[in-house]
Amino acid sequence: DSEPRKEDLKQIIEMMDGFKASKALFTASNMCVFDLLQRRPGLDAAQVAQEIKASVKGTKCLLEACVSLGLLTTCQKQVYKNSDLAKCFLLSDAPFSLQGYIQHCDKMVWPLFSHLDSAVRDGTNQREKAFGRKSKDMFQDTVYSNQEVKLRFMNAMHSIAKVTGKAVATAFDLSSFKTACDLGGCTGAMAYEFTKAHPQLSVTVFDLPAVVEMSEHFHPLHTDNRVSFVAGDFFKDELPRADLYILARILHDWPDENVHILLSKIADACTSGCGLLLSEIFLDEDRRGPSRGLLQALSMSEGKQRSATEYSLLLKSHGFTTAHRLTDNLLDAMLCIKETASLQSH
Ligand code: SAM
């Protein structure tokens, strides 16, 4: 047998080590290493250890691992500073901070993935095994039943929406819409991006009462009151009236039955010419990527990941025409327009 190619071996080993890199990043973030080195750049391992109340040996290993991952820089004197990557994404007060999402990955996604073999065997999510609680509705039974878990989840959604929101908000010309309703709009992060990008637009964020009651913790400092909040259940309650409905990272969480209930409620609320802006990861049509979407599907939520064509067919069955766009960002977008009754009958 010929020797394996060097790059093949490297690729497979890097994949095997991926979880170690993730956990090193999560741990350094949890221990506030990046915030500390931003306030006091140039500390050595012993000084960092003292500040984060950890062993010198462990801290040195963690800092060196972070250097190797491109999160920190160091020099001959063996003192440490944040890299540009860390400054952009890992400081708690950075505009594009992913800290909230990192905590969610560490505390929520990691435990689910540590039961991946059971998840694959059973084809079901492992929330009960991971968190010791039976749950029918992931949001109402697992995430929102505990205040700390709820805030962590909201922070996660907030941070990822801030990073992805602009690309979604600017993917299409929305100048003909005056009012929008962001269904499952969580902290309003996406809604604020929409109002920033579209000066004519007001957005109502519609989400469960448990979420809306915390929304003021996430208001940006400067707002012009074009974002408002309404509490309700999008499967049961009447939807606020709007020219444009937004569904960002909602449909992949639900089985077809719920998706149809929600889409028919939106279709009923839409008059001809109203829009629905859908934002999800669109799987490649041949389902070979992107691995971001296919790996997320392994969490075995009750829903599934779909391609643009699959979403398009779903939307068409509810009387929408669709145009989609790959945003070259973490989330893709599809603009769907409600057809007039006469067009629909053709
Ligand atoms: N749209 C946001 C974004 O893209 O960042 C948040 C997406 S998060 C995965 C799903 C959101 O749907 C959560 O904010 C959750 O509270 C909300 N949600 C779940 N079930 C709901 C329901 N029955 N009625 C209204 N909102 C719901």
Residue 224 scores a pLDDT above 90: no
Q: Are 135 and 142 in contact, with CB atoms under 8 Å apart? A: yes
pLDDT, position 329? 82
Q: Which of 220, 216, 242, 247 is nearest to 229 (CA)?
A: 216
The ipTM is 0.99
Report the distance separating Cα 233 and Cα 226, nearest Å. Answer: 22
Q: Which domains does the chain have, with CATH numbers?
A: 6-89 (1.10.10.10), 164-284+303-344 (3.40.50.150)
Query: How far is Cα 194 from Cα 198, in angstroms, rounded to an integer?
Result: 6
Residue nearest to atom 24 of ligand 1 (CA): 233
Question: In this structure, are residues 229 and 203 in contact, taking their beta carbons and an 8 Å threshold?
Answer: no
> Catalytic residues, which ones?
252
Q: Could you tell me the distance, in angstroms and rounded to a whole number, from the CA of residue 30 to the centre of ligand 1? A: 25
> Is-contact 233 208, C-beta < 8 A?
yes
Q: Does the pLDDT at position 111 exceed 50?
A: yes
Q: Is the CB of 208 within 6 Å of ligand 1?
A: yes
* Per-residue pLDDT band at 345 (split at 50, 70, 90): very low
Predicted confidence band at 132 (pLDDT cuts at 50, 70, 90)? confident
Q: Render pLDDT for 32-56 as a digit per residue (tens, 0 to 9).
A: 999 999 999 999 999 999 999 999 9
Q: What is the mean pLDDT of the chain?
A: 94
